[in-house]
Amino acid sequence: MRGLNREEKSWAFYDWANSAYSMIITSTILPIYFKLVAGEGGMSSSDSTAFWGYTISLSTLLVSLLAPILGTIADYKGFKKKFFKLFFGIGIVATVMLILVPTDMPMLLLINYGFTVLGFAGANIFYDAFLVDVTDKSRMDKVSASGFALGYIGSTIPFIISIAIVLLSQNGILPLSLSAACKLTFLITALWWGGFTIPLLKNVNQKYFIEREPRVVKNSFKRLGETFRNLKSNKPIFTFLLAYFFYIDGVDTIIGMATAYGTDLGISMTSLLVILLLTQFVAFPFTLLYGKLSERIGSKKMLFVGIITYTLISIYAYFIKTTVDFWILAMAVGSAQGGIQAISRSYFAKLVPKHRANEFFGFYNIFGKFAAIMGPFLVAVVTQITGQTNKGIISLVILFLIGGLILSRVKEEPLIDIEKAIQ
């Protein structure tokens, strides 16, 4: 993109690469396919939505437990890219394995999906931490927002291809069953994700690191403990992480369960796919806008804009009944989801020491992933008890309100020297 150097572009292009997973596996085709498989396996609609939420919660729990440990080890010279490759590989292989799951075994499909989440989320820990290696503080908002924007516009290409395959097979134009068409989209996702990750693998390297020392694992746990004990002393970082824990929970829950919610409302597959495609086109310019406005009025103010937008979305979701209502909801989500994620990432990157970026992004991800356990679980429980997904969605309002309140207490700059605090 304009104004980015080769390293910044190569880093940002990973958002273009893994966006196929986010769109096809997380948000659209796989959730719809799972509903079909769940029906074949005898699950009710509300139970399938609940189990989908439970799976997201359990898989992200595992990532959350691993994130700070692996992040601390990855701060040593040469480890960051190795860990990135490991989780990236798990995600690609697990995505391909979705093709092999029988169409009447929903629980096996959920287990396989959990491994794709593990690979995707794990790779993102180290991808996010690479932000400090490819650019400086003054450009972080722009580069981070460019990455998310590339992701939203890039995801439309494999998504349009996938929509065409699914709809053409559904209408008998392609000689494929609906399940076979969905499985073909999973293969497309893996190829897109893998192919467009090559620029990052070639051009992005760890510049800031800690020199290797004897007993790497033992010393990593020691450093992790010291950092955790000192985290509270650096109030801006700790307070931001606490705020992030709450508001990103609601964001991730809405993104992860939007398609299941739409299906429960009785919205057709065709309408869901078209709506979610147009959401990507809306997200592209709004994410870039968040980046530009953050440079002018500040990152923190733009985070508040995102939180307020999502609060209104959660309230509106309670009342929607028609496809038009869902259209409005989706466009509102598109206007905020990329921006709040991109600015959260860059805002945090500005606060942490560069040579310990993996360690601190491990905490960033553990706060984010543990939050992602609570939201889907909350929606799943309320949905299963009441049989109505909208009652689960409106419960997310409290998460945005708490997150916004805590964010208001974050100072713009660290109060103490974090480098000295962790020594």
DSSP state of 76: B
Q: Do residues 209 and 73 lie in contact, with contact meaning Cβ atoms separated by under 8 Å?
A: no
Residue the block writes with tokens 């009652």: 391
Judged against a pLDDT cut of 60, whether residue 40 lies above it is answered with yes
User: Where is 387: in which H helix or E strand?
Assistant: none
Given pLDDT bands bounded at 50, 70 and 90, which one contains residue 361? confident
Widest Cα–Cα separation across the chain: 66
Highest mean pLDDT among 322-331, 360-369, 382-391: 322-331
Judged against a pLDDT cut of 70, whether residue 286 lies above it is answered with yes
pLDDT tens digits along 67-108:
777 777 777 787 889 989 999 999 999 999 999 998 888 889
Given pLDDT bands bounded at 50, 70 and 90, which one contains residue 390? low
The pair phi, psi for residue 160, each rounded to 5°, is: -60, -45
Judged against a pLDDT cut of 70, whether residue 351 lies above it is answered with yes
Of 56-65, 177-186, 209-218, least confident by mean pLDDT is 209-218
pLDDT tens digits along 129-146:
888 889 888 888 889 999
Say what the pLDDT of residue 89 is.
95
DSSP state of 395: T
Q: How many CA atoms lie within 13 A of 183 on its CB side?
A: 14
Task: Choose among 340, 325, 334, 336: nearest CA to 281.
Answer: 334
Domains of the chain from N-terminus onward: 6-204+223-421 (1.20.1250.20)
Say what the pLDDT of residue 419 is.
44
Q: What is the mean pLDDT of residues 12-38?
A: 87
Say what the pLDDT of residue 373 is.
66
pTM, to two decimals: 0.74
The pair phi, psi for residue 76, each rounded to 5°, is: -70, 150
Q: What is the mean pLDDT of residues 165-193?
A: 90
Q: Do residues 257 and 317 lie in contact, with contact meaning Cβ atoms separated by under 8 Å?
A: no
Judged against a pLDDT cut of 80, whether residue 405 lies above it is answered with yes
Report the distance separating Cα 332 and Cα 327, nearest Å.
Answer: 9
Judged against a pLDDT cut of 60, whether residue 377 lies above it is answered with yes
Q: What is the mean pLDDT of residues 267-288?
A: 82
Judged against a pLDDT cut of 80, whether residue 268 lies above it is answered with no
Say what the pLDDT of residue 256 is.
65
Judged against a pLDDT cut of 50, whether residue 265 lies above it is answered with yes
pLDDT tens digits along 240-254:
988 998 898 888 778
Report the distance separating Cα 244 and Cα 209, nearest Å.
Answer: 26
Indicate the average pLDDT of the chain.
Answer: 82
Could you tell me which residue, 331 or 265, shows the higher pLDDT?
331
Q: Do residues 339 and 286 lie in contact, with contact meaning Cβ atoms separated by under 8 Å?
A: yes
Q: What is the mean pLDDT of residues 224-251?
A: 79
Given pLDDT bands bounded at 50, 70 and 90, which one contains residue 232? low
Given pLDDT bands bounded at 50, 70 and 90, which one contains residue 389? low
Which residues, 6 or more positions from 78, have their beta carbon under 8 angstroms from its beta carbon? 206, 209, 212
Say what the pLDDT of residue 420 is.
45
Say what the pLDDT of residue 200 is.
95
Encoded tokens for 389: 């997904």
pLDDT tens digits along 146-168:
998 888 888 889 988 988 898 88
